[in-house]
Structure 1
Amino acid sequence: MAGRHFRLHVLQSSLRPEPVPRIQDAYLGSLQSQLLATVAIVALAAGMVLGISRLRPTVERRFGSQKGEIVSILALATVIGATVYALSVVWRVTFVLWITFRTMTFGRWVAAQQLVTFALIATAYLAIRAVNRSIDKAAETKAITKHQSEVAHHVADVAIVSFVSVVILTLWGIDLTNVFIGAGALTALVALTARETLAAMLAGFILLFSRPFRVGDWIEVNETDGIVTDVTIFTTKIQTFDDTHVLVPNDEVTDSQLVNYSRNDQLRIDLEVGVDYDADLEHARSVAVEAVGGVEQIKDTPAPQAVARRFGDSAILLEVHLWIGDPTKRREHDARTAALESIHAAFDREGIDIPFPQRIHAARNDSLRVATSGTENDRPASTLGE
């Protein structure tokens, strides 16, 4: 105990060494001088912080990013500590620092605990920065998507902080049994009250690892057709082609049939065209294939083809298959329009009719005849009322 009081006395004396009282009495005796000194100290600290931030890139280039970051952090901590001490001297409140240190226990075991705790916190901070920097580099090289990088940031940060927190609590002798029991009960409560949110979050992780689409892909899910603009933990944002923004929960994306038109480098377009029953079907098919083959947007391989689809009410329906490369909605619209115009012009040139729906009304011999003129005596007996 006596040794501890001796150390505290030494600490108190070291906070106010011999020159400090003389400086306070000679230069810091009035309020104006204290304010002026405060402004000067704050300006000096701000200048030093600015200088450290400007020198940091040079240090990182010379010694590496991690070493440069450590040096910058230590320099900033030194500046902050010196500023706090200088302000305490100016305003004659060094006793606050002495009280703060006095309340701390300086036993060997506690000092070791504090030192290890500080080291763990610093290590966790540096580990988070290193991992996040690696994730950012992977995102820059397109190894992972933007959504994956964001999720990876959160997962890595939470994992590192959780692990270090458990180690620190164990170091200080805190029983984690009750903590884990409470966390389990809280997790069960959240699972019951926010099932849909948790399902969407789990689906977000599934989308992260399965990667069925990326931002910018053209997809169709739940009859929603559009471009993926953003993917978060909970929702997928789709911009439809009528400029509507739709938020689809991730659990609906994983539970529904998903079509990704951008995954392949080509897309097949199907066109239906009707030809008259009296037309030469084989000739009509060859004319349709030749017509779409000259369209600029259509790929030569696979080659366009036309097949007889079915008998319609007024025509035989042909289905023309054609392919476009690098599929987008605009390219699909342009190719479809150009193909229809080309087929229509080719059929007109070859004299092939594209019939429109028609109905023929024909009288049957055994049908009931209804007189429209004449007297009642002139009508057939079967048409007269009883």
Structure 2
Amino acid sequence: MAWFASVLLVVGFSLRPSPIPELQRTYLDLPGVQLLATVLLVALLIAGIGVASRVRDLARRRRGRQIAEASYVFVLGGLVTGGVYGFSVIWRVTYVLEYTLSAMMIDRWLAAQQLVTLAIALSAYLAMRFVNRSIDKLAQTRALTKHQSEVAYHVSDVAIVAFAATVILTLWGIDLTNIFIGAGAITAVVALTARETLTAMLAGFILLFSRPFYVGDWIEVNETTGIVTDVTIFTTKIQTFDDKHVLVPNDEVTDSQLINYSQNDQLRVDVEVGIDYDTDIDRARSVVVDATEDLEPVKNAPNPQVIATEFGESAILLECRVWIADPTMRRRHQARTDVIEAITTAFEREGIDIPYPHRVHAPREESFPVDGGIDRGSAVSPLED
């Protein structure tokens, strides 16, 4: 009721304007008439509440739940205020309201401060709703991810509330210096006790603005490789290719080497194959290129490349490099499988051998029998028999 008294004081409203005393003397002089007027007033209040409920349901369907509830509370407040004033007029006890309001009355400057404070709070609420709706529209156009939308909600709400609180405190003449000093001390204590949590949170904001990856991207952080399924302020959730869900703190993501395989629209796949030292290297390279350039998973541009990498123990190693589009782990495995099958088939057709290590077992000059029944002096190796 304090704000109501402030409004009355500012506008200079009187609880007994000139028509009210005349109305009381003419129509509300008898107790029976007063009783009948009370019944009618109660009926009007009940009818008003029913109408307000129906309007609330209609507004909820058209304007949303929050606006409907706020409007319903405002209308109920008006009905209660009107009902109390009506009863005081009917039973000629307006002096009670006058006494109550006079006890609550304050000077005009304080009343103006209250009204401006109420206006600032209402403006901040409306601004938060406008900003949140704008963020929802951006999220629908995929300009913002789910994680970015959630962070944007919190950041915008905190910024609006902090600005409104600063204006209100300044309006009431409260020195903000002590508040800032206290907030700084609290921040220092929290920073010392929850350093890792704050570091992860700051890293989450860095990921929000730098946007090195999105939900659904294939990334590699340290030894974790998989698909990003969710990004929060504190952690990044990765589903590995063996169906493990790994939570990586955001500070580890920002401090470690990050590989985003989905950043580009293509990925290079390397396959090594060995050829015999007697094989013509240029001919083997041409056979590999011809065998892999027409494969379905392999892109035509860039064309497959084959280079000699090193001299192995039993073969010269060739590295076949092919590129795939829209890289995923499944497409990568499929491309490697197709390339290996195509190279194997082409080498068999062209008579090119793929060397592999051979293990040769040779007897020693003196061998020792395993069977204890044979004399050591007369032992003969079974391989020499």
Q: Does the pair score TM above 0.5?
A: yes
2:272 maps to amino acid = E
The answer to whether the Cα contact below 8 Å between 2:53 and 2:72 also exists between their aligned partners in 1 is: no
**Residue from 45, 53, 56 that aligns with 1:46:** 53
Does the 8 Å contact 2:45/2:79 carry over to 1? no
Matched, 1:25 2:35: yes
**Which residue is equivalent to 2:260?**
260
What residue identity is the alignment partner of 2:36?
A
Q: 1:223 to 1:13 in 2, by over 3 A?
A: farther
Contact 1:24 1:90 in 2 (8 A): no
Aligned equivalents of 1:225, 1:44: Cα separation in 2: 60
Q: Does 1:168 align with 2:168?
A: yes
String of CA shifts for 1:214-264, please: whole Å, max 9, x gaps: 111111112111111111111111111222221111000000000001111
Aligned counterparts of 1:186 and 1:100: Cα–Cα separation in 2: 42
Alignment of 1:1-386 (within 5 A): 25-26=35-36, 42-54=49-61, 56=63, 75-76=71-72, 78-85=74-81, 101=101, 104-361=104-361, 369-370=366-367
Once the 2 structures are TM-superposed, how far is the Cα of residue 111 of structure 1 from its aligned partner? 0.9
Deviates more, 1:131-140 or 1:261-270: 131-140
In structure 2, give the amino acid aligned to 1:82: G
Checking the alignment, whether the CA contact within 8 Å between 1:314 and 1:358 is kept in structure 2 is: no
Alignment partner of 1:227: what SS?
Answer: strand
Decide whether the 8 Å contact of 2:148 with 2:208 is kept in 1: yes
1:312–1:89 CA distance, 2 compared to 1 (3 A): farther
What TM-score do you get using the length of structure 1 for normalisation? 0.78
Q: Which runs of 5+ in 2 are unaligned?
A: 380-385
User: Any idea what SS the aligned residue of 1:308 has?
Assistant: strand
Deviation at 1:103, TM superposition (A): 5.7
Change (3 A) 1:237 1:347: same
What TM-score comes out, normalization by structure 2 length?
A: 0.78
Counterpart AA for 2:237: K
CA contact (8 A) 2:266 2:325 kept: yes
- How far apart are the structure 1 equivalents of 2:378 and 2:60? 113
Cα distance per residue 1:90-139 (max 9 Å; x no partner): 999x9998898566433101111011111111221222222223333333
Q: What is aligned with 2:382?
A: none
When residues 377 and 369 of structure 1 are mapped into structure 2, their CA distance, relative to the original with a 3 A threshold, is closer
Q: Distance in 2 between matches of 1:271 and 1:287?
A: 14
- The separation in 1 between residues aligned to 2:79 and 2:261, in whole angstroms, is 61
- Rounded to whole Å, the distance in 2 between the matches of 1:332 and 1:22 is 93
Deviations 1:58-77 (A, max 9, x none): xxxxxxxxxxx99x798545
Instruction: For 2:313 and 2:34, locate their aligned partners in 1 and report how far apart those are by CA, in whole Å.
Output: 106
Deviation at 1:303, TM superposition (A): 0.6
Amino acid at match of 2:78: A
Q: Residues of 2 paired with 1:185 and 1:375: CA distance?
A: 91
When residues 264 and 106 of structure 1 are mapped into structure 2, their CA distance, relative to the original with a 3 A threshold, is same
Query: How far 1:51 sits from its partner (Å)?
Result: 2.6
Number of residue equivalences:
356
Q: In the superposition, relative to structure 1, how do residues 171 and 337 fare at CA in structure 2: closer, same or farther (>3 Å)?
A: same
Question: 1:206 corresponds to which letter in structure 2?
Answer: I
Instruction: Describe the SS at the equivalent of 2:238.
Output: strand
Contact 1:240 1:246 survives alignment (8 Å): yes
How big is the shift at 1:39?
6.7
Residue 290 of structure 1: how far off its partner (Å): 1.4
What secondary structure sits across from 1:216 in the alignment?
A: coil
Closer/same/farther in 2, CA of residues 176 and 39 from structure 1, 3 Å limit? same
